[in-house]
Structure 1
């Protein structure tokens, strides 16, 4: 599954509505609301959790994924050492990461592309990608744009 920075993952594009997603992947394995009343879809086979923002007309705005098929610039991410992944990504211009530590986890956040590489024991275990916020402090929805 290809990660398309600033746009989404695979066939998922930021700004899609729930019915657009179910047309692609079918009914989610889990469907619930978080503490902010955002709608969450979880797909076990794709190992993805999708967030549809209540305040944005329930548009897809955030994806958390942990599938071993995840691919960024032709590079697999999950299960690889973060140092190797960062080296591969730096060759594609993805250089600046802010690191945060939580217990045994570390997050490597690239704000420009709104991507987080989460590691545990020095290996990438999860990728989080979010819709970009533009200069007007609004989401830059990609779905439906030409």
Structure 2
């Protein structure tokens, strides 16, 4: 599954509606609403969690995955040491990663691409990608 920074993961693009995703992946293994009334789809085989934002007409705005075949710039990242991932992304011009610590987990966040590498014991265990907000303070939806 290929990560496309600022756009989505695999065939999924930010701005898709639930029916667009279902037409690609089928019905989710689990579906529920979070505390903000956003709709969440879980796909077990893809180790993928998708969030459709309620206040944006339920457009796909956030993706989380821990699938071992997840690739960024043609490199698998799940299970890889974070210093190696940092080398990969800096070689592609992505410079700043802010680090937040939560118990045994560290989040390495890049705001310009709205991506987070969740790391435990220096190893990437989960990846998060959010839709980009443009200069007009609006989401930059990729799906038309």
- 4+ residue stretches of structure 1 with deviation over 2 A? none
Aligned with 2:83: secondary structure? helix
* Aligned 1:1-146 pairs, distance under 5 A: 1-144=1-144
CA distance in 2, matches of 1:94, 1:78: 18
Q: C-alpha displacement at 1:89, in angstroms? A: 1.2
Structure 2 regions of 5+ residues with no counterpart?
A: none
Aligned with 2:129: secondary structure? strand
Give TM-score, length-normalised by structure 1: 0.98
Structure 1 regions of 5+ residues with no counterpart?
A: none
Give TM-score, length-normalised by structure 2: 0.99
Alpha-carbon RMSD: 0.5
Report how many residues are paired.
144
